[in-house]
Amino acid sequence: MGRGPELAAIRGVLESFRQATTPRLHLIEITGEPGIGKTRLLAELRSVARRHRVLSGRASEVTGMVPFSVLVDAIDDELAAFSTPGKHILDAESAALLSPVFPALAEAAEPAGSPERFQTHRAILALITRLSARRGLVLTLDDVHWADAASAEFIAHLLRHPPPAPVLVALAYRPRQLSPAMMAALRAGAAPDLRLDLGPLSRAEAAELLGAAIPARRQHEVYRRSGGNPLYLDALARQSASPYAQYPANWPVLAVLRAEFEQLPPRQRLIAQAAAVLDDPFEAAAVAEVADLPLADTQAGLDGLVQRDLIRLARPGGAMHYRHPLVRDVVYRTAGRGWQQIAHTRAAEALARARAPLTHRAPHVMRVARVGDQAAVHLLTNAATATMTTSPSTAAEWLQAALHNLPEDQTERRIELLGELAGALQLAGRLSDSREAYQQLLALLPADGGQARVEAAVAYSRVEVLLGRPAVARDLIVEELRRLPGAAGAHMIPLHVELASARVLSGKFLDVDQEQVLRVLEIARASEDLGLQAHALSDLAAARMGMGDTAGSLEWRREAASKMDALSDDELAVRLEALAALSWTEFFLGLDQAAIAHFDRGLRLCQRAGKRDLLTYLLAGGAMALWDMGRAPEALRYVEDAVDAAELSGSEHLRTVAYAMQSLVHVLRRDGPAAMKAAEIAVEAGGGQQNWFCAVAGGSLGFAKLIMGDPGGCVEVAVPAFGGPEMPLLDALHRPFFAVGMVLAELARGRVDAARVWLEMIEAAVEGGIDLPKYRGYRDISRARIAIFGGDAAGAASYARAAATAFGSAGHAANEADGWLLAGIGLAASGSREDALPLLEKAASLFDACGLPSRRAEVDAQLDQLRTPAKPSLAELTARELEVARLVAAGLSNREIADRLGLRPRTVETHVTNIRGKLAVKSRAAITAAVIDASS
């Protein structure tokens, strides 16, 4: 009623969805206050979309604590039909990932250990894609303002990675009640195809809805009191005339809903309240247990509530739900606190008897637990453990409830739970809350708390690093070292190591106190602690690398890798920060094969150690190393994983890291729009901070502008991001890498002198000690580009050959291909077309092997140009050469031409030779043909 334009808009999106030639995600958002008609519009969408597979889910307040509850509500029944033998629609890996999420898969596959949350999200996305096959999928999700954190994270993933499949998703929510997680999810993707913000009905529409049975005078009063809200109109219309007099003009409409409930017989009221405790949807048997009534009496009472339209059948088979969540909420609040306690206790006990998962019992237990209830604390902490990997935000809520109910005198247990809570909050991306929990933990730990205090301080420091506050992290550790007794003792070594690791992971290589790390190394060697030795050696290698001391860095790296590789997985799992530092250092030094092996080992151990904060570092670095080795598709997958991990981390610092590397990968792939989008996010996440990763983000934005055809914008953005022309915010090894791009930008602006300044920086770096193959390649390919810009095609070909050889010796296939491509272009431009062909074909083969079809296309264009016989052009000739060519075409000999023009015969001979070279012909007859062709 009264939603004609909205219905037309919905049908328009549905028609676009049906006619789309390229399957994609279509998104509809329906917003408005409670009762305004969002649910009704979703129902109408499902009705008109029946030719497709239609699924619907609804979030609610209680089940909002259960991970993925809104998705389970939507998909589980459908999934059950495919869970019998021979009907599986999921591969074994996806089934294992989703068995902890969907009850229909609980017995279909063993859970997949402790997967990363983005892996679970991808498995759900794959499931949705499979469900969309043939008919297309329409998925409606209602009341997503109540969605649990895991569902919100998945919706964010869906909007960032829309499936290339015929899927239409419609979301309904109350904007003012939207959780921060859900708000972030909706902001994560592109704008919806349609967003409807529903307003109240007009007086005429309200009158049509109320019907002629209600007198006009009363209709006027009902409309005035309801404000045109359909739910309130309906509630008021259900009341007799008598209750209105008792409410003032500004009465809360909720009182009308309460009056509807109060008209019920006592037993039906009890049954309605028991159903409200269980939340939607509910079964009669569960209501009977909560109400403590016989099943037959309960069923009869529910039938009466259905007749009164207080509750409705949710689906065939007996499941029911309230007419509206607001009605359920009003009914729930009519029950006294004491009865609610008893009812939730009964619900929890009933679920326990049914062996329901802890995650379904915990919401009820959390509502009734009291201080000192040890059984509740035990259940809540176990439920938190069970859901830590899938929904750490929910785990944190249950741990907070456990802490609230813990007796005050149990300090040791409080310390333990605070540590778990801080870790859960960090995993959930709630870093500020995690920091607060660590502060509370340190306040409880005594100054001589020994290993426990050291571990807490280190963990707290890492949260500060993730918050982009490395200076605060450093001050924290320094203060702990100052105030703790026995600061020089062996048990304090982790604090000393953390000082260096925090610097390295923040990209502040030059700030590492190498003398301090050397003292740690001396202690580690004396104690024969291989893990600590590897940690110290890795930090030293990173510090030397940042200084540009490649020889020193290579030496420290060699020893660090030897120690690291000798550690067992269990020993290495506590040294993953060191492994991350070593892997990045190896990548910087061009040791990509070793770097990838260490990145991959670190990724495998991250799950075991629970150090999800390191995932982004490992994945982003691994992506760049894979790119160097010419494994472009794998690099793209790694960097996409890095972005997903960063988005779940809650860390703007990690988002800067991930999106900056993603942008660079897209730059190297020559995908300008994707590079620009990622770079803009990276720069925004960096917030203008002056550090290595923000400098890289600014550089990636500049390079994105360059490949989008804006070299001036590249220079304007990149140089300030680097801290100025000397690039002080970058390490010594990355200045040459970014200078290569600046050479290209300046040449594209026609500023060869400015390009030579950047080339001089690269040359100085190589001559100053960074004499590694890939850096020689950077130097020589920049020389080649400047040479070809200046018209020295032969010189360019020579430099480019040297660059290709250097990159090839480093195993950098894509860069090597660039070298051969430029060498081929140089040779062709210098007239050696036949010699250029094999070099271009080699470049094409390498781009194919790297999985870079767009780059292969660049080479193919050059090959086509060379393989197509060039049409002679007289435009290349000077005025005198053109005059000579025309006389050759007239049949004159060289001597005759000399006499005609007053030249020496040898001079004419030189002109004829030059003419043949410029026209790429070998005879006087061909010169004649070119002149005739140009005249025709």
> What is the SS3 assignment for 419?
helix
Alpha helices in 467-547 (DSSP H): 470-483, 493-505, 514-527, 530-547
Percent of the chain with pLDDT over 70: 95
Q: Which two tokens stand for residue 474?
A: 């450093």
The whole-chain average pLDDT of the chain stands at 87
Residue 798 and residue 821: Cα distance in Å, rounded? Answer: 12
Q: Which two tokens stand for residue 682?
A: 């990276």
Residue 59 and residue 154: Cα distance in Å, rounded? Answer: 14
In this predicted structure, what is the pLDDT of residue 248?
A: 39
Q: What angle do CA 186, 190, 192 make, to 5 degrees?
A: 75
Contacts from 352-357 at CB under 8 Å and sequence distance 24+?
A: 357/386
Q: Is the dihedral of CA 886, 891, 893, 896 positive or negative?
A: negative
For 37: left if phi > 0, alpha if psi spans -120 to 50, otherwise beta; the answer is left
Q: Tell me the chain's radius of gyration from C-alpha atoms.
A: 35
In this predicted structure, what is the pLDDT of residue 7?
A: 94
Specify whether the CB–CB gap between 154 and 70 falls below 8 A. no
Predicted confidence (pLDDT) at residue 684 exceeds the cutoff of 90: yes
Predicted confidence (pLDDT) at residue 543 exceeds the cutoff of 90: no
Q: Which two tokens stand for residue 259?
A: 């009056």
Residue 190 and residue 586: Cα distance in Å, rounded? Answer: 37
Q: What angle do CA 303, 305, 309 make, to 5 degrees?
A: 115
Q: How far is CA 441 from CA 402, 408, 666, in A?
A: 15, 15, 43
The helix-helix angle for 203-210 and 216-226 (nearest 10°) equals 120
Specify whether the CB–CB gap between 195 and 33 falls below 8 A. no
Which H or E run includes 417?
Answer: helix 411-427
In this predicted structure, what is the pLDDT of residue 559?
A: 94
Q: Which residues contact 77 (CB under 8 A, 6 or more apart)?
A: 104, 315
> What is the SS3 assignment for 698?
helix
In this predicted structure, what is the pLDDT of residue 359?
A: 87
Specify whether the CB–CB gap between 81 and 211 falls below 8 A. no
In this predicted structure, what is the pLDDT of residue 63?
A: 58
- State the virtual CA torsion across 632, 637, 641, 642 in degrees, nearest 10: 10
Which H or E run includes 167?
Answer: strand 167-173
Residue 434 and residue 422: Cα distance in Å, rounded? Answer: 5
Q: Which residues contact 549 (CB under 8 A, 6 or more apart)?
A: 769
Q: Is the dihedral of CA 42, 45, 47, 50 positive or negative?
A: negative
Strand-pair category, 194-197 with 311-313: unpaired
Report residue 250's pLDDT band, with 50, 70 and 90 as the boundaries. Answer: very low
Q: Which two tokens stand for residue 47?
A: 């009705």
CB atoms within 10 A of CB 103: 17
pTM of the model: 0.82
> What is the SS3 assignment for 834?
helix
Predicted confidence (pLDDT) at residue 631 exceeds the cutoff of 70: yes
Specify whether the CB–CB gap between 171 and 146 falls below 8 A. no
Residue 358 and residue 351: Cα distance in Å, rounded? Answer: 9
List strand residue ranges (DSSP E) for 881-929, in order. Answer: none
What HEC string does 61-94 produce?
Answer: CCHHHCCCHHHHHHHHHHHHCCCCCCCCCCCHHH
Q: How far is CA 51 from CA 6, 23, 55, 58, 205, in A?
A: 21, 16, 12, 22, 30
Predicted confidence (pLDDT) at residue 241 exceeds the cutoff of 50: no
Mean pLDDT (whole number) for 662-669: 93
The helix-helix angle for 411-427 and 450-466 (nearest 10°) equals 20
Predicted confidence (pLDDT) at residue 323 exceeds the cutoff of 50: yes
In 3D space, the residue among 153, 323, 300 whose CA is nearest the CA of residue 235 turns out to be: 323
In 3D space, the residue among 117, 241, 75 whose CA is nearest the CA of residue 641 turns out to be: 117
Residue 869 and residue 866: Cα distance in Å, rounded? Answer: 7
Residue 703 and residue 688: Cα distance in Å, rounded? Answer: 18
Report residue 515's pLDDT band, with 50, 70 and 90 as the boundaries. Answer: confident
Specify whether the CB–CB gap between 48 and 14 falls below 8 A. yes
Predicted confidence (pLDDT) at residue 225 exceeds the cutoff of 90: no
Strand-pair category, 167-173 with 25-31: parallel
Specify whether the CB–CB gap between 504 and 691 falls below 8 A. no
In 3D space, the residue among 589, 562, 564 whose CA is nearest the CA of residue 576 turns out to be: 564
DSSP structural state of residue 145: G
Mean pLDDT (whole number) for 478-484: 80
Report residue 251's pLDDT band, with 50, 70 and 90 as the boundaries. Answer: very low
Mean pLDDT (whole number) for 422-448: 91
The string of pLDDT tens digits covering residues 252-284 is: 567 777 877 888 899 999 999 999 998 778 889
> Which residue would you say has higher pLDDT here, 708 or 926?
708
Which residue type is seen at 420? E
- Provide the β-strand partners of residue 195: 29
Which residue is listed with tokens 């040449």?
747
Residue 637 and residue 643: Cα distance in Å, rounded? Answer: 10
Of the candidate ranges 499-513, 599-613, 843-857, the one whose mean pLDDT is the lowest: 499-513
Predicted confidence (pLDDT) at residue 925 exceeds the cutoff of 90: no
The string of pLDDT tens digits covering residues 374-401 is: 999 999 999 999 888 888 999 999 999 9
> What is the SS3 assignment for 498?
helix
The string of pLDDT tens digits covering residues 40-83 is: 999 999 999 999 999 999 988 765 678 898 999 899 888 877 65
Predicted confidence (pLDDT) at residue 872 exceeds the cutoff of 80: no
In 3D space, the residue among 638, 605, 646, 645 whose CA is nearest the CA of residue 622 turns out to be: 638
Specify whether the CB–CB gap between 97 and 120 falls below 8 A. yes
Q: Which two tokens stand for residue 160?
A: 């960032």
| First-last CA distance in the chain | 76
Q: What are the strands of the beta sheet with 53-58, ordered from one edge?
A: 53-58, 137-142, 167-173, 25-31, 194-197
Residue 672 and residue 296: Cα distance in Å, rounded? Answer: 67
Strand-pair category, 311-313 with 320-322: antiparallel
In this predicted structure, what is the pLDDT of residue 271?
A: 94
In this predicted structure, what is the pLDDT of residue 246?
A: 41
Residue 598 and residue 605: Cα distance in Å, rounded? Answer: 11
Which residue is listed with tokens 């890289």?
696
Which residue type is seen at 378? H
Mean pLDDT (whole number) for 505-518: 76
Of the candidate ranges 220-224, 350-354, 467-471, 547-551, the one whose mean pLDDT is the lowest: 220-224
